[in-house]
Structure 1
Amino acid sequence: MLLHSAFYRFTPMADPPGFAAWLRGRGAALRLGGVVLVAGEGLSAAIAGEAGAVRALEAELLQQPGMAGLRFKHNDCGRRPFSRFKVSVKREIVAFGVPGVQGGATGTHVSPQRWRELLADPDTLVLDNRNSFEFRLGRFRGAIDPGVVHFRDFPACVEANRDAWRGRTVAMYCTGGIRCEKTAAWMQARGLRVAQLDGGILGYFEAFPGAADDWQGECYVFDKRIAIDARGRETGTTAEQVFTAPEDAWRLARARRLDPQEP
């Protein structure tokens, strides 16, 4: 059985190049595919392969400094989502565009169960913390589109709406949770009351077999599968169907390089 695992951790990394080299070696030995980013602020990854190999790397990661309790979000795959195992060292694991903003504990995380309650509360403002092409493909019911082409444009959206949102609970979500980690503390500092979905969309799908009751459409994933449904199954949607806007031409070219039709 093939298994996909997505995870991240904001934690100080003493030697990002050394940690990246270790990961490359382990990924190759276990014949995994994936995309991993390592930076001084932490780790972000999506990996896939035979289930036993994925779980073996997860077990090894949990023994590394700063990685205890690392959460892995899983879904089964009908084919290999990645052709290779790529580990890159970056300045940030997610680029927010505001200097000095760091991910970490904010006290704003809510469980999938609490998130479901917030979706039913008319006083909640549900904010999609992803790019517009992702929102168009699928979203939580009642969510609003921030209208951004790149994640670094998100702060401008918040600033433009901050006064109107003040006093409401801004319930925010993204694919795996990492983008919300960067925005939550910054939004709190801007005077907003924030609740971020712990584990993101993928964690919600994993927690609730009936997630389709709350989710409309599909969820874009950054691998050969292109999109999954609320049960974590590949949908058959193509990159050409997702990237239709002129400003997303570069994303279409990147997706084509993944060769999504390859078995």
Structure 2
Amino acid sequence: MSDLSDSHIHSSFYRFVTLAEPERVAQRLREISTELGGNILVAPEGISAAIAGPAQALAKFELALQQDPVFDGAFTGMWFKHSACTTKPFTLIKVHTKPEIVAFGVPGVSGLPDASKANTHVPPAQWRELIAQPDVLVLDNRNSFEFKLGRFKNAVDPEVAHFRDFPAYVASHAEEWKAEGKRIAMYCTGGIRCEKTSAWMQEQGLDVYQLDGGIVNYFKALPDAERDWEGELFVFDKRIAIDTKLQETSTTAEEVYAGLPDEAWRLARAKRLDPGA
């Protein structure tokens, strides 16, 4: 069921930052997000969120996130990625505390900044040049059903069902890639999965780069993003998919998961997101 509102805005953001009291942070987030819908994860390693609401309420929340004394400046200068909505993306707001803001599956790996490692972030304009190079392997750091819906041209699908399966794929190919002299250009939806993966891949001896801000930032930064992109971008909310103009498409959850019996639980979850459907 669609809830039409020109002023309804989707906002995604994350930050890897040490949080000594995640539950205290989460409780304050619950108090300041009552006018919004979406999901916010808080962990000792930081915050990750996909939320939406009326423009004024969202702006009020984003200001509080950066200025509220409970957060002690941890989220000052946060980068919010916005897109307008036709369908209201979420019904309820949920704030959870977890051990990680994105589960990687390798003990001891964190997305927290490490000054001892090279900066792997590549801005959108430079990314276009990078992935055109013959020694570059373009690696999709998402689930296989996301890849099938849309991808950068000539990208490789690791064929994983969960992000926690991604390290095993990399480990099984790392020596081959190094022997071939490949540079790895890696991307994901908003950047967070690549943040968690890049430092670990450097430790495996790989020459790795990540698309800064992910696919969403690429679409926002480049008006002609369709030159490099095929298909649509899956989003984990009731909109299901967006195009390179950040506009909701007509794709349904049934179409995304068609012919994928192992993903039946994802379809069931999508139905729960939209009880009026």
Same fold (TM over 0.5): yes
| 66-75 or 140-149: bigger deviation | 66-75
1:167-193, Cα deviation, whole Å (9 max, x unpaired): 321000000000001110110000000
Q: Note if 1:4 corresponds to 2:10.
A: yes
Task: Give the match for residue 97 of structure 1.
Answer: 105
| 192-201 or 52-61: bigger deviation | 52-61
- Could you tell me how far apart the structure 2 residues matched to 1:95 and 1:241 are? 27
Shift of 1:80: 1.2
Task: Give the match for residue 48 of structure 1.
Answer: 52
Which runs of no fewer than 5 residues in structure 1 stay unpaired? Answer: none
**Paired residues of 1:23 and 1:87 also in contact (CA < 8 A):** yes
1:212-248, Cα deviation, whole Å (9 max, x unpaired): 1111100110000011111111111111111131110
Task: Give the match for residue 33 of structure 2.
Answer: 27
- Could you tell me how far apart the structure 2 residues matched to 1:156 and 1:92 are? 19
1:142-182, Cα deviation, whole Å (9 max, x unpaired): 11001101111101110111112113210000000000011
Note the 1:1-263 alignment, pairs <5 A.
1-28=7-34, 31-63=35-67, 64=71, 65-105=73-113, 106=117, 107-166=119-178, 167-244=181-258, 245-259=260-274, 262=277
| 46-55 or 1-10: bigger deviation | 46-55
Shift of 1:79: 2.7
Shift of 1:66: 1.7
- Could you tell me how far apart the structure 1 residues matched to 2:163 and 2:275 are? 24
Residue 78 of structure 1 aligns to which amino acid in structure 2?
Answer: T
- Could you tell me how far apart the structure 1 residues matched to 2:44 and 2:82 are? 26
| 216-225 or 114-123: bigger deviation | 114-123
Task: Say if 1:113 and 1:260 are closer, same or farther in 2 by CA, change over 3 A.
Answer: farther
**Paired residues of 2:32 and 2:64 also in contact (CA < 8 A):** no
Normalised by the size of structure 2, how large is the TM-score?
0.91
- Could you tell me how far apart the structure 2 residues matched to 1:2 and 1:114 are? 32
- Could you tell me how far apart the structure 2 residues matched to 1:238 and 1:256 are? 11
Task: Say if 1:123 and 1:218 are closer, same or farther in 2 by CA, change over 3 A.
Answer: same
State the percentage of identical aligned residues. 59
- Could you tell me how far apart the structure 2 residues matched to 1:120 and 1:69 are? 33
- Could you tell me how far apart the structure 2 residues matched to 1:132 and 1:40 are? 29
- Could you tell me how far apart the structure 2 residues matched to 1:48 and 1:9 are? 18
Normalised by the size of structure 1, how large is the TM-score?
0.96
Runs of 4+ in 1 over 4 A off after TM superposition: none
Aligned alpha-carbon RMSD (Å) = 1.2
